Chain A
Amino acid sequence: MSPVLELVAVSKEYPGTPPIRALDDVSLAVDAGELIAIVGPSGSGKSTLMNVIGTLDRPSSGQVLIEGNRLSTLTDTGLAGLRSARIGFVFQQFHLMEGSSALDNVATGLVYKGVRRQLRLQMAAEALSRVGLGHRLDQKPPKMSGGERQRVAIARAIVGDPAIVLADEPTGNLDSHTSTEIISLMQRLNDEGSTIIVITHDRDLADGLPRQVAMRDGAIVADTADVSIETVAARPLVGVGSSNDMTKRTNREGGKQA
């Protein structure tokens, strides 16, 4: 059983004089069913990390593995295929299409998987009811509150049942009350089996999540799972992370062995 996400000595440099080292030898393993916060101040490299994990950007060195697949072996088109099937994104600024209904917005999450429209809309409706918006399917984003918009974006991320949900500052544009709601929604989805990685600068938010990885200056400075990459590689197949891992896996059926 390999982790759903594994980073091995990942570095990312941006050209310049001197070159900017946004990620510095980052190693990290995330198991299926985890809910983890990557936390750090701005400039700590967490956005770069999110892009690298989300396969939107490639590391300068090191390896990224998703479900055991080395991303370095995939072409740009191959990465797009991987994103279409295995990664769901939630953005701080929602990125919703203003002129389309909530239902259509969520259904867009399946367009590049080639799912036919009828089935797309059906799956989108189910995803929306999972995030508590089953009654607002035809509403357009401009008529929705920030919290509702972010729920739509979350529904879009989970509608294709990805291996990883990546949420980049999901509460960055929300008030604290709504933020709490969004976080508890994430926790509920995690209980239902989703693997979720939340990138945030908000220490308090991160503290509410089961595992926190703290970053500073492009490097991991703390990980509450507290295992170095060497011990991850050596650890037993079962038993990392929180105690209800096994039930989650049964729920999420077996897309995890590669």
Chain B
Amino acid sequence: MSADKDSPVVKNAPLRWRSKIRPSDAIRNGTHGLRSRKGRTFLTAIGIAIGIASMVAVLGISASSKADLIAQIDRLGTNLLKVEPGSDIFGDSAALPKASPAMVRRIGPVESAASVSKLGTSVQRNEFLKDDNGIAVLATEPQLIDTIEGSLSHGRFLDQETSSLPVVVLGSVAAERLGFNSLDSTPTVKIAGVTFAVIGILDQSELNPDLDRAVFIGNDAAGKYLGAKVVPTGIYLRANPDHVETVRSVLPQTVNPADPNEVKVSRPSDALEARAEVDKNLQNLLLGLGGVSLIVGGVGIANVMVISVLERRGEIGLRRALGATRRHIAGQFVVESASLSLLGGVIGVALGTAVTYFYAHRQGWIVAVPLAGLAAGVAIALVLGAIAGLYPSVRAARLDPAEAVRPS
């Protein structure tokens, strides 16, 4: 009986013997039931998996969407400012002083600036058409293209020479509405009956959608061919990124020293940032729905565990006979329930990540799966499983061992 020599059994035992179980065995015991009932384990874990997957997907998709917007904002820069006339105290639209573009350029950290002046006229493809198509005619300066960091899909923008010639550059939407998609046919448009040659078409401007719906002529040409009085209705400017707020604060005084209150300064990129926040409510709603399915999953686990305790009366009795304390039995079922839920959590995290990847990929977004969200998903599943296992495990621990070992 060499077993006796190796046996750690205490001989001449003291009055009390203590049951003890190694942590690794507690986990082995706790997962034994799951391993021997694989089908049931999988089906029960699915409930949790769906809840976790939907939460991870909601977080992942909104994070991806946000990451995409932020990348867009980073690319476009947050240092573009726009100055517009505000309303005067009577509610009428005030004008910007004629000298204001030059004043703005004099502010130190302003890297470039360009004014636009809305002319009270419209543009048509030919003299037979009257509809203005919702297109504004703007007189502007050549610096505009650099200031808004715009680009052209066709042709070129206005420069010093062409600013005083009857030529026009079309915004992307304006070009579409007027029916031009190339310059191959040397197109022309009519502005107040005067023929202007189209020399360029702009790309879409992500920060300034109003510029997409405009056509641009030079300030000099506006005076020369249309007899218009050029009064700035807007100034676009790029500030040094480190001094955007400073520039912003001095702009009203600079632009209109007489009436700084009648100057409105905005930052076009703010609109994008707002969009990144705007779906918070929807996100919370979806997270709530995910939470509900998690609770349903948790109740499912509790149910299955209660049934499991009833079915395994004999095993519980045997373990008690082998020396398991009530605590050991309770622990076994809590570990089992938590492992079951953990399994669901892991499946759910994988599923949610896959959904996020698929959706973001289809939207052409950057895939951003928040790692903290994944960890939280697994942790929530683990805690939920342990809680769901509490009641069944207490029932298991309370079983009378003499009762439990009896043949049923």
Binding site for B on A (CB under 8 A): 47, 51, 54, 56-57, 67, 69, 74, 76-78, 80-87, 89, 91-93, 95, 97-100, 108-109, 111-117, 119, 122-123, 126-127, 130, 156, 159-161, 192, 253-255, 257-258
Query: Do the beta carbons of A80 and B13 come within 8 Å of each other?
Result: no
Query: Do the beta carbons of B6 and A119 come within 8 Å of each other?
Result: yes
Q: A112-B323, A123-B6, A160-B9 given as contacts; is B19 within 8 A of A97 (CB)?
A: no
Query: Do the beta carbons of B324 and A112 come within 8 Å of each other?
Result: yes
CA distance A43 to B8 in the complex (A): 40
CA distance A42 to B258 in the complex (A): 111
Query: Do the beta carbons of B6 and A56 come within 8 Å of each other?
Result: no
Interface residues of B in 8-41 (CB under 8 A from A): 8-13, 15-22, 24-25, 29, 32, 35-36
CA distance A253 to B13 in the complex (A): 12
Smallest CB separation, B22 vs chain A (Å): 6
Query: Do the beta carbons of B3 and A99 come within 8 Å of each other?
Result: no
Q: A56-B401, A95-B318 given as contacts; is B24 within 8 A of A80 (CB)?
A: no
* Chain A: CB-nearest residue to B321: A89
Residues of B contacting A74 in the complex (Cβ-Cβ under 8 angstroms): 16
Residues of B contacting A113 in the complex (Cβ-Cβ under 8 angstroms): 8-9, 19-20, 323
Chain B contributes a number of interface residues (CB within 8 A of A) equal to 46
Query: Do the beta carbons of A255 and B325 come within 8 Å of each other?
Result: no
Smallest CB separation, B32 vs chain A (Å): 7
Q: A99-B36, A122-B6 given as contacts; is B17 within 8 A of A56 (CB)?
A: no
Query: Do the beta carbons of A92 and B2 come within 8 Å of each other?
Result: no
Is B315 positioned at the interface, with any CB of A under 8 Å from its CB?
yes
Query: Do the beta carbons of A123 and B13 come within 8 Å of each other?
Result: no
Residues of B contacting A81 in the complex (Cβ-Cβ under 8 angstroms): 16-19, 323, 325
Q: A161-B3, A161-B4 given as contacts; is B405 within 8 A of A95 (CB)?
A: yes
Smallest CB separation, A7 vs chain B (Å): 16
Query: Do the beta carbons of B22 and A83 come within 8 Å of each other?
Result: no
CA distance A57 to B1 in the complex (A): 32
* Chain A: CB-nearest residue to B404: A56
Residues of B contacting A67 in the complex (Cβ-Cβ under 8 angstroms): 13
